[in-house]
Structure 1
Amino acid sequence: MDDRRRPEGHDGPELLGADPDRPARARATFALSPDAVRAMLTAPSLPATLDALGIAGADADELRALIPVAVDDSQVLTAVTARANALRAEAGLDAPLAHSPEADAADDAAQRAIAPGEGLVTILAHLVSTDTVRAWHAARGIPAGISWASLADLGQQIAVHRAVHGRLGLGTRQWTSLVWTGQVLRLGRLQHQLRIAHGDGADAHWGLSVHIPATGPLAPEDVDASLTMARDVLCERFADLGAGRPAELPAFGTEFHCRSWLLSPALAEILGPEANLARFAAHWRLEETYDASDDVVFFVFARPRGTAPTDLDTDTRLRRAIRERLLAGGGWTGGSGHLVLGAVPGEASRAQTATAPESM
């Protein structure tokens, strides 16, 4: 039976798990009411919350203007409250994802009473639902700065939506719901997701998936520092995830997986092998490839997936080369890759350094 504890001194989320020092998850002990959500969204601390969640510029300005309208519309406020309570219901290793296409459609229908677009209900719900995920991070020993930096991906996703669609919104609600489970941590330049990497059920073993936020250059030294930071932090804070791991597998926290349009041999051909993007691709041992044509349209050109190649910009060497490949019908090939770092200092290493394939 799970050990269930509330943090001392307040009625915060209760912590659940067989090991009281390493709770598997946190669960909210009460539901927010519409009145509570209204009070939180109109509190003097709202600007600080927007800043902490990475929401700035035109996005922050429009949200501040829309919030009074949203909290005065009973249908929108009810939708925000329901989504907020779903997002904060649980966080942790096996927390369910608080997302469904049906809920998105219903929320967007409610939004249209006050503003065009999509995702406003979820954005507002995220603003008032950080308590459970932050409590779980804290119980796991994750510093508050890392917790907030991880949740600040919300602002990044909102900014990407504006770049692609030209308006305030959130089109990656499944992803931000995953971030709110606490399973995705921003450690330096990269995001690292706790995930099952081997087996399933009782034979499941944990690994890390790497995600690359669109927040600037991918300098090799920053990539290396992030991978090392992930190994050091997660091996310490989630040491229990390595329990019972077969000897033939790399130690937990040293094994990374990545699936991205960036894992493409074509980057070295286009930009040269010393370019940051090509060097990032060369970090990984390529295991399989996939058609990433829609991904490059979204991530490289900041256009909706499915945009015709003739409508894509050609203002950089990379964009010109990708557009030519798409026009020629060759598409863009992304990949899934794997790498293993050396084990934590003092621990016998069961890992071997992965090498890049010759095609990289």
Structure 2
Amino acid sequence: MKTIEELCKKIDIPKEAAAQVAAFDAQFDYKPIEPAMEKLFSRDSWDEGCREIKAYLGEDPEGLKMLACMLRCGLKTWRNYEKRGISEQIFIDTMKCFSRFMGEHKEGYGNYAFDREWWTSRQIAGELVRIGELEYEMCQDREGRYIDLHIPSDAKLQRKNLLESLHRARDFFKENYPAYGSVEMRCHSWLLSPTLKKLLPPKSRILGFQELFAIETIGVTEESEYITWVFKRPDISFKDLPENTSLQREMKKYLLAGGQLEDAKGTLKGDDIQNSGLN
């Protein structure tokens, strides 16, 4: 992949947005912000890089200028993947976060826009990859290296799909990032909240996902995360939340009754996964 047009097509950027991104890319001089764009490739500097790019771009109500800058960096990300021998399919699946985020904005607000630049530096830097249904982010804290699991909004949470993703991820990291080949896998998400057992049927796929983890509750979650994930936008009152799915209906009822969702984190039950097979 050598052009933004080609990348947009590969990762399914909506055509109307892709045309605007391509038009901006064709006439924009990136040279003044190349140092800021380079900062997106390092965890220590990507927040600073984003701020500098946004400040230089100025008015950008739909975020398409920023999207163009991110995708321009994405071409370098692909070259980095090639050097490591990582497949084009993993690159495409990872970078489809851009089109997924735009689709989520469209569903919630009625128009295509890009507003997740605060998150997508992870994909640009190659710190986060999508393998099958789940995303895997290489992280490190005072205790050492670990992999942070993320659940994309379009993930199919059938147990077979989840186990296939987890097994593939172990093989991927052992081959491409050996230092992360056997580290602990963690997940910090409202999807692990014990409260969901009250709102979902016993055979729910979300509850099945929870069963893969040793879970610790750590307090009340920030509303915006699960409200955005479940209802697609956080800026409407509880009484006006949509009721298009069973989860939306049950959660809305729970919230209107004054309920709160606990935040939780979990550690993957490695031995169970290792010996579980894919059935």
User: Which category describes the TM-score, using the shorter chain as reference length?
Assistant: 0.7 to 0.9
Please name the residue that 2:228 is paired with. Answer: 298
Cα distance, 1:223 vs structure 2: 0.8
- Residue by residue over 1:219-257, the C-alpha shift from the partner in whole angstroms, topping out at 9 and shown as x without a partner, is 111111111111111022211x26xxxxxxxxx435211
**Counterpart contact for 2:21–2:65, Cα < 8 Å:** no
Cα distance, 1:129 vs structure 2: 2.0
Matching residue's letter, 1:321: E
Q: Where does 1:195-344 land on structure 2 (aligned, <5 Å)?
A: 195-196=139-140, 198-199=141-142, 205-239=144-178, 241=179, 252-289=181-218, 290-303=220-233, 305-342=234-271
In 1: Cα distance, 2:34 partner to 2:98 partner: 14
Cα distance, 1:83 vs structure 2: 5.3
**Counterpart contact for 1:192–1:208, Cα < 8 Å:** yes
- Residue by residue over 1:141-181, the C-alpha shift from the partner in whole angstroms, topping out at 9 and shown as x without a partner, is 32232123212211112222222222222111111112100
Q: Where does 1:1-360 land on structure 2 (aligned, <5 Å)?
A: 40=3, 46=5, 48-55=6-13, 59-65=14-20, 67-68=22-23, 71-72=26-27, 77-78=28-29, 82=32, 86-88=36-38, 91=41, 96-97=45-46, 99=48, 102-103=51-52, 106=55, 109-111=58-60, 117-196=61-140, 198-199=141-142, 205-239=144-178, 241=179, 252-289=181-218, 290-303=220-233, 305-342=234-271
- Residue by residue over 1:294-315, the C-alpha shift from the partner in whole angstroms, topping out at 9 and shown as x without a partner, is 2221010111x24210110122
Cα distance change on mapping 1:103 and 1:87 into 2, 3 Å = closer
In 2: Cα distance, 1:274 partner to 1:139 partner: 43
Matching residue's letter, 2:17: E
Cα distance, 1:212 vs structure 2: 0.9
Pick which of 132-141 and 213-222 moved more.
132-141
Cα distance change on mapping 1:277 and 1:256 into 2, 3 Å = same
**Counterpart contact for 1:189–1:226, Cα < 8 Å:** yes
In 1: Cα distance, 2:40 partner to 2:235 partner: 35
Q: How many residues end up aligned between the 2 structures?
A: 274
In 1: Cα distance, 2:94 partner to 2:70 partner: 13
Matching residue's letter, 1:52: K
In 2: Cα distance, 1:125 partner to 1:207 partner: 30
Pick which of 318-327 and 334-343 moved more.
334-343
Cα distance, 1:195 vs structure 2: 0.5
Matching residue's letter, 2:16: D
Please name the residue that 1:26 is paired with. Answer: none
Cα distance change on mapping 1:108 and 1:300 into 2, 3 Å = farther
In 1: Cα distance, 2:49 partner to 2:228 partner: 22
The structure in which a higher percent of residues are helix is 2
Q: TM-score, normalized by length of structure 1?
A: 0.67
Cα distance, 1:283 vs structure 2: 1.5
**Counterpart contact for 2:146–2:184, Cα < 8 Å:** yes
**Counterpart contact for 2:188–2:264, Cα < 8 Å:** yes
In 2: Cα distance, 1:132 partner to 1:101 partner: 17
In 2: Cα distance, 1:343 partner to 1:232 partner: 17
**Counterpart contact for 1:150–1:186, Cα < 8 Å:** yes
Cα distance change on mapping 1:104 and 1:138 into 2, 3 Å = closer
In 2: Cα distance, 1:306 partner to 1:84 partner: 35
In 1: Cα distance, 2:145 partner to 2:98 partner: 25
**Counterpart contact for 1:95–1:181, Cα < 8 Å:** no
**Counterpart contact for 1:218–1:276, Cα < 8 Å:** yes
Where structure 1 has 5 or more consecutive residues not aligned to the other structure, the ranges are 1-38, 112-116, 243-251, 346-351, 354-360
Please name the residue that 1:33 is paired with. Answer: none
**Counterpart contact for 2:186–2:265, Cα < 8 Å:** yes
Cα distance, 1:211 vs structure 2: 0.7
